Chain A
Amino acid sequence: MAKQEVKFEDKMKELENIISELENGEIDLDQSIEKYTRAMKLVKECNEKLKSVEEQVSKMVTEDGTIEDFEMENSQQ
């Protein structure tokens, strides 16, 4: 499995940190613009990720390590 570039959770954490920093107001204007730009990028990325998501197919890892799609029997039950 290819490792993902940055985890969603880490993006959210970074975003929350930037907002806290901005809310504290202890940074100068140039920095705040820079942070804002970064934060907006994160918001966009997170939003896109959440909205673009198709329902994932469940997988099953077999005994020998191969990954197959997993269909639940009676999933409608």
Chain B
Amino acid sequence: MNEDKYLSIGALTRYLKAKFDGDANLRTVFLKGEISNFKAHTSGHFYFSLKDETSKINAIMFASKARLINFTPMDGSKVLVTGRVSVYEATGSYQIYVDEMMEDGVGNLYIAFEKLKKELAKEGLFDAKYKKPIPKIPEKIGIITASTGAAIRDIISTIRRRFPYAETYLFPCLVQGEFAKDDIVKKIKQASDYDIDVLIVGRGGGSIEDMWPFNEEIVARAIFDCPIPVISAVGHEIDFTIADFVADLRAPTPTGAAEMAVPNMNDLITHLQQLQIRLNEAVNNHINKYQMQLNHLKDSYVLKNPMIMFDNKKQRLMLLEERINENLKRKVEYERLHLDHLKKSYIFKNPEVLFEPALNQLKVFQETLQRQITSHIKNRNQYLQYQIEKLEVVNPLHILNKGYNVAYQNGCLIKSVEQIKDKDLSLHFQDGVIYATVDKIEKEKREWQSKK
């Protein structure tokens, strides 16, 4: 009666799905098994079952993932898959959603491949800086591959078709099996001793085991060490080998390698023809350029009218002549004007002004001199008068006025009786002279005289 406790199918299925999806262990599952009921849908999805001796699980691989696998799955294929386990609600069945799938048995090879690839990459063997340029027009091409099979046939026929000019040298070698790697290495070394422009190393398509020699380390190192540029050509477009990474150029197929190695003969001939055209054009342009320059020079006015050079000189001479005359005339005119100007000048008309200061000075001098002379004469006169007056005072004749006289003998004034040598004696008075004769001389002493 109580219907509430009954679940819908959908609810149960959703519940189970949630359980599956919530389990971390089921999110990434590695499974090993055999494929059965394989169907590749037109949409690109793969539908199949995986089974082993005891159990079976449905599997789906969506197109986006299915596109990436490099083998063709079929019933009975033993495979290794990676994916998640979940519930498909419509059928209520659990299944594995496959992300990656590879053939079992080669699984170990993949691991080895990835490991070696990583190592060599780290070591730098794949670096672009070591890639040797591939010659554009090789004349001798070395080929290391099997002497039978599609690869050598494709390579040689492609080279002959494109560029018969090239010589091909095959170094036949094993390309699969346990001895192949050593043989490939040996042939690469042997080829290095020949005068070869480019080396193609490869083989046609096959299983991953078949192509394995080209994933061997010694092969990779031999390619790296090879002094000749190497083009790798292993298997098909999708096959990548270590040899491809280390080669100077990777070709998708042996045919592709031959196409990359040699130019197309017709292209080359066309290219050469174009070069010739360009050469002629370049040279013609070059010559035309010089021709034009030459014509231009020939047409120049001067070359056509050489006399123009002299005309120019003549003209210039005349011009200079004119200029000299002009200058001279101007100079004379200027001097004349200057002279006129001078003539009209105040100084010229009144030259005396030039002497005026000197005349004034002279006049001052004259006046000063006059004044000084007058003053001097006056001084002298005064001095003279003074001397005269002084003389007047001492004039002995004044004494005579007081009754004294003076006696002279032989022109000498007699001051003492001892001076008398002669008899003649003149006595001078105020108003005349007595000529007398000395009779007797009597000398007397006067006290007062000596006191004085």
Contacts and interface: CB of A to CB of B under 8 A. Distances in A.
A46 B268 CA distance: 10
Contacts of B265: 50
Nearest to B271: A12
Contacts of B148: 73
Contact of A55 (B137, B138, B160, B190): B160
B160 A25 contact: no
B184 to A, nearest CB: 14
A56 B167 CA distance: 6
A47 to B, nearest CB: 6
B275 A43 contact: yes
Interface in B278-314: 278-279, 282-283, 285-287, 289-290
B172 A60 contact: yes
B122 to A, nearest CB: 35
A67 to B, nearest CB: 7
A3 B268 CA distance: 23
B272 A43 contact: yes
Contact of B139 (A4, A18, A62): A4
Nearest to B269: A50
Best-buried of B137, B138, B195, B268 by chain A (most CB within 10 Å): B137
Interface residues of A, number: 43
A75 B276 CA distance: 37
Given A23-B282, A25-B289, A61 B137 contact: no
B365 interface: no
Contact of A22 (B166, B169, B271, B286): B286
Nearest to B156: A58
Nearest to A39: B279
B152 interface: yes
Contacts, number: 113
A39 B350 CA distance: 100
B279 A72 contact: no
B227 to A, nearest CB: 15
A13 to B, nearest CB: 8
Size class of the B contact interface (CB-based, 8 Å): 35 or more
B268 A61 contact: no
Contacts of B136: 9, 12
A1 to B, nearest CB: 5
A32 to B, nearest CB: 5
Contacts of B164: 53-56
Interface string A32-74: 1100100110010011011001111011111001010010111
A59 B275 contact: no
Best-buried of B136, B170, B171 by chain A (most CB within 10 Å): B170
A4 B383 CA distance: 147
Contacts of B167: 56, 58-59
Interface in B157-203: 157, 160, 164-172, 190-191, 194-195, 197
A46 to B, nearest CB: 6
A49 B165 contact: yes
B279 A18 contact: yes
A1 B139 contact: no
A4 B139 CA distance: 10
Given A19-B279, A75-B157, A59 B170 contact: yes
16 contacts: A1-B140, A7-B137, A9-B137, A22-B279, A25-B282, A36-B279, A39-B279, A43-B275, A46-B272, A56-B160, A58-B156, A59-B168, A61-B171, A61-B191, A72-B156, A75-B156
User: Which 4 pairs between the two chains have the least Cβ-Cβ distance?
Assistant: A22-B282, A9-B137, A53-B165, A55-B164
Interface of A: 1, 3-4, 7-9, 12, 15-16, 18-19, 22-23, 25, 27, 29, 32-33, 36, 39-40, 43, 46-47, 49-50, 53-56, 58-62, 65, 67, 70, 72-75, 77
